[in-house]
Structure 1
Amino acid sequence: MTQLGLPESIQACLFDLDGVVTRTAVVHAAAWKETFDAFLRERDGENFRPFDSAADYDEYVDGRPRADGVRTFLASRGIELPEGSPDDPPDAATVNGIGNRKNALVLKKIRTDGVEAYEGTMRYIAAVREQGLRTAIVSSSANTRDVLRSIDAERLFDVRIDGVVAAERGLPGKPHPDTFLAAARDLGVEPSRAAVFEDALAGMDAGRSGRFGYVVGLDRVGQADALYAHGADVVVKDLDELGGRA
C-alpha cells in the first residue's frame, strides 16, 4: 500500500460527487422524499406509505441517474408510469416529470443553502494529485459542473463524466460500471489500475462489476456492512483515514 492507502498499482482515482466530495447526498435524499411523498400521498390517499429517506434512498435511488431512480423506487411499490419526455413539467405524472420535480427542488435547496465540501476529501484529492495520480469526477448528476464550480473544485479533476456526458454518449448509469469505465478510458488507464471512491451501494456494484483495482466505500450514514457486501475493498468514514494528509 502507498501512503495514500491504495495499492501500488493504482494510477488514477475516480470520485463520485454527492456524499464523497460534497455534502449534497442529504440534500438529494430530502428532495426525493418531498417529491415521492407528494406523489404517493395524492395517489394512495389513506394507504399512503412515505418514502424512507434512509432505506428507500440507499436501496433504490442513491447513485442512480434520476430517471432510473424514479423507475426503481416506483417499481418497489408496484407502480409503473409513462416515461414522458425530458422536458415534461414538474407536475406531470410521468417518470421524467417526477424526476424534473425532484431536480427543481434540489436546485432550490442548493441555491438557498449553498454547497459544502468534505474537507477530508479535498485534502485527499490534493495529496493524490501531488503524488502524480490522475483524477476524475464520476456522477449521475446533471448539475455536477455547477456544483464543482461553487466549491472551486473543477480544476481538481482531469476528466468529468456526469449526467450530461453520460446522456451524450449513451452510457447507462450506476449500478452499471459504464460511467466509471469511460472515466478510466478518458484518463488513459486500465480499470485494474484505477480506484473508485463511492458512498452509494449502486456505486459499489459498479466498482465491483467493472473490475476496478480498488473500491473505497465512504460510510456517511452507518452502512459499512452493506458497502462491503456490495463490493467495497475498504470502508472509511472519511478519506483522511486512508492517509495523504497535507
Structure 2
Amino acid sequence: MKPGPAAGHGASRHGIAPVLRRVRAVVFDTDGVIIDSAGIHAVAWKRAFDACLRERASGSAARPFDPDDDYRTYVDGKSRFDGALAFLDSRGLGRPQGEPGDPPGTGSVWAVAAAKDAKFDEWLREHRVEAWPGTVQLLHALRLEQVSCAAVSASRHARDLLSMSGVAELFHVIVDGNDAARLRLPGKPDPALFLEAARRLGTPPCATAVAEDAVSGTEAARRGGFAVVIGVERSARGAATARLERHGADMVVGDLSELLTPAGPAAGPRTAGPRAVEPG
C-alpha cells in the first residue's frame, strides 16, 4: 500500500479491533507509522555516512551504508546523535563527540548528525511527504471511539512533517526531538518519549497502546509497561516481523488498517508468542 492524502478516507465506516478497545489512548511513532518518511531519513543518513566512510574508513569498514539493514539496526527510532554514534562505532570509526552546534561534516559525531539533517532539510524543500492512508483511517476511528492519540518522534522535524501531511490536528499530543532535547529525555530503547506522551495524555502506560515500526521502539514500549505494543512491518518481504516480535511487539501488522473493523483481513493481525525481549 502506498501512502496518500490524509483527508477523505471515509474512516467513519469503521470501528476498531477489540485489542484497542482495551485501552484509553494510543501513542504512534511518526516516521514509518504515521507518515512515509522513514525512507527519506534513511537516504539522508546514507549520504552523510557514505561521505564519512569515504574519508575515514578502509577495507570492509568502508562498505557503503545500507539504507535498509544498517538503518533499521543502528539509527531507526533513535535521536540523530545516538544513531550517528551507533553506526560509526559499528564500523570502528571512533569520532570525537563534538558539540551540537558543529557544522555538517565528518570530523565529529555531531558533525555527521548535522550533515544528515542538512540532507533531510534539502529533501523537504523540494518534495512533499504523505501520511499512510490506513493510519489516517485508524486515527479517525479512534477519535470516534474517544480514544486519545499522541504522535512521538526522536526527530526535530516531526511537527513540520505532521503538519505538511495534514494529520497534526488528529493528535491530542505531539512529543518530538525538540521536546526530548529540552527535557533531556533519553532516546529509544529507553521508554522516556512514550512515557512523556502518556503523561501529557493523562493515561497510564497500562491503559495505553503503542504503534511502532522500529525494534528500538517496540523494546522501549515493552520496557515502559505499555498495555499493547503493535509492530508495524512496512518492508515488502516482511523481514522485520520476527525482530519486532523478539523486541516486544504483542502483534505485528502490515498496515494499521488491519486494526479497523470490518475492513481488516479475516485472519486479523499476526500475534506474537510469549514476550521475549532481547537485551539492548
TM range (shorter): over 0.9
Structure 1 range deviating more: 83-92 or 229-238: 83-92
| Counterpart for residue 42 of structure 1 | 55
Deviation at 1:92, TM superposition (A): 4.8
Cα distance between partner residues in 2 of 1:74 and 1:106:
19
Q: C-alpha separation between the residues in 1 aligned to 2:46 and 2:198?
A: 33
Q: TM-score, normalised by structure 1?
A: 0.95
Aligned position for 2:247: 230
Question: How many aligned positions are there?
Answer: 245
Quote the RMSD (CA, aligned, Å).
1.5
CA contact (8 A) 1:145 1:154 kept: yes
> What is the percentage of aligned positions where both structures have the same residue?
44
Distance 1:46 1:225, change over 3 A: closer
Question: Match of 1:195?
Answer: 209
Post-superposition CA distance 1:159-179 (Å, at most 9, x none) = 111100011111101111000
Q: Name which of 9, 12, 17 aligns with 1:4.
A: 17
SS of the residue 2:64 aligns to: coil
Could you list the runs of 5+ residues in structure 1 that have no partner in the other structure?
A: none
Structure 1 segment 92-241 matched on structure 2, within 5 A: 92-221=106-235, 222=238, 223-241=240-258
Task: Measure the CA separation in 1 of the matches of 2:262 and 2:112.
Answer: 42
- 8 Å Cα contact 1:4/1:128 also seen in 2: no
* 36-45 or 207-216, which deviates more: 36-45
* Secondary structure of 2:57 counterpart: helix
State the alpha-carbon separation in 2 of the partners of residues 233 and 92 from structure 1.
40
Select the residue among 71, 75, 78 that pairs with 1:61: 75
Q: Distance in 2 between matches of 1:171 and 1:23?
A: 25
- Write the deviation string for residues 110-141 of structure 1: whole angstroms up to 9, x where unpaired: 22221011011011011111100111111001
- The 1:22–1:5 alpha-carbon spacing in structure 2 relative to 1, beyond 3 Å, is farther
Supply the AA of the counterpart residue of 1:173. G
Matched with 1:20 is 33
Following TM superposition, the consecutive aligned residue runs of length 4 or more in structure 1 with deviations greater than 6 angstroms are none
